[in-house]
Structure 1
């Protein structure tokens, strides 16, 4: 089966949406303290698509625009640009500025802007846009975060669950096309998540669920390697995941358990046929030949009757 490259843009967009409070606390503790999360944030991606030029909107699907309510009653706009592969090159700072002034022009609100670099190329890590022409000057600065520059040990010490998402992004960069290394990283993250070695026990189960799905997809392995990982983690999954009530939906594990269920169903069906054959007087050898079960299995079935 051909290996499909994960849709990193959509994966990052989804995990930021689903863990937005943790995301904001991780990247801007100051803004987090000002926000009133009793009023749910409004995600305005549709409005963002109308702000961007038509030629850019399809390339900026991972960008996020969020409206926050502050504790003092004011609104706060959060613009997050997710730069996955450095596609914008030298004009990236200009595009950040263009997004800023278009949002401000349309909504006239305060804006917190962040560029999240998930690739390993330092050339696109600019944190400001500069314009100068015959004495007319402009400097626009925005927040940047480059995953490739982060410390693995620091991320492992964090109690913020979003650190696991960042760590998964770091492992994507470190492993690249090295399947064995990616296997080890994914195994490590799954064990951290399921065995509660990193995340506080007060963390909501649904957050673990969302990180579980994100890690599974962002560190996607070839199918045969995924089978090996599932078998490796099977004791932990059966103990920890079941106790937490985690759903395997939307993960490779769902495919594994579906396959196991199909196998179990086929075996049970064969056993039922073997029982009927022997009730009709078929010998052990004939029952084995018809069902595909071994002679020893047929004998055990016969002994249980």
Structure 2
């Protein structure tokens, strides 16, 4: 928190407010400060903390809130509760998608929030297909097509492409580091060579 805070300040030279959102299950763990002192000099940061476990018994309130963050928190709670129950997760995801439609928010906001829900609440392919049939039925009933089939495919491909790109880049970076370290282990730090003139 301290590093992020000072780096943002260093870059933009504006006051920075830091806040921690803790998604772990340890209700008593609430770090809200960082400090150190050396040779009479002291540096410290204190920040507010939002603990998602505080909202586990407030799911009904979250689901009726107009706040987009409340909806994401409302997705986090059943996602953790349904780790080993795909059907329960699908039912929870379906309920949250219906809530998205009820909000009458703008199309882009709905798509953005849907993308987050889709990323958080992964389902097996069969249940995912069932959910999409339900969404299509809602579209017909509400006469409000938020996520077209083309956008749905794009969302899925975008998530897959991002994951594959991240894995590929991570693997390449690891291989590059390994290749660089092997000669250095044997011969020491390698000199930087300039362009050849031959």
- Does the TM-score normalized on the shorter chain lie above 0.5? yes
Instruction: Answer whether contact 1:213 1:250 (CA < 8 A) is retained.
Output: no
What is the TM-score normalised by the length of structure 2?
0.63
Structure 2: tracts of 5 or more residues without a match: 157-198
Structure with larger Rg: 1
| Alignment of 1:238 onto 2:140 | yes
Instruction: Answer whether contact 2:21 2:49 (CA < 8 A) is retained.
Output: yes
Mark the CA change 1:188 to 1:252 in structure 2 (over 3 Å): closer, same or farther: farther
What whole-Å deviation, never above 9, does each CA across 1:191-221 have from its counterpart, x for those lacking one?
2222x1xx2x4x3232122222322232110
| Alignment of 1:145 onto 2:63 | no
Within-5 A mapping of 1:11-160: 96-122=1-27, 125-133=30-38, 136-150=41-55, 151-160=58-67
Task: Tell me how far apart the structure 1 counterparts of residues 116 and 47 of structure 2 sit (CA, whole Å).
Answer: 27
Task: Tell me how far apart the structure 2 counterparts of residues 105 and 161 of structure 1 sit (CA, whole Å).
Answer: 30
Shift in Å at residue 186 of structure 1?
A: 0.4
Query: RMSD across aligned C-alpha pairs, in angstroms?
Result: 2.9
Task: Tell me how far apart the structure 2 counterparts of residues 98 and 213 of structure 1 sit (CA, whole Å).
Answer: 29
What is the TM-score normalised by the length of structure 1?
0.43
Instruction: Answer whether contact 2:139 2:146 (CA < 8 A) is retained.
Output: no
Instruction: Answer whether contact 1:116 1:144 (CA < 8 A) is retained.
Output: yes
* Higher deviation after alignment, 138-147 or 121-130: 121-130
Aligned to 1:183: 90
Mark the CA change 1:224 to 1:101 in structure 2 (over 3 Å): closer, same or farther: same
Mark the CA change 1:159 to 1:145 in structure 2 (over 3 Å): closer, same or farther: same
| Alignment of 1:221 onto 2:128 | no
Aligned to 2:147: 247
Task: Tell me how far apart the structure 1 counterparts of residues 69 and 147 of structure 2 sit (CA, whole Å).
Answer: 20
Aligned to 1:290: none
Aligned residues: 153
More strand by share: 1
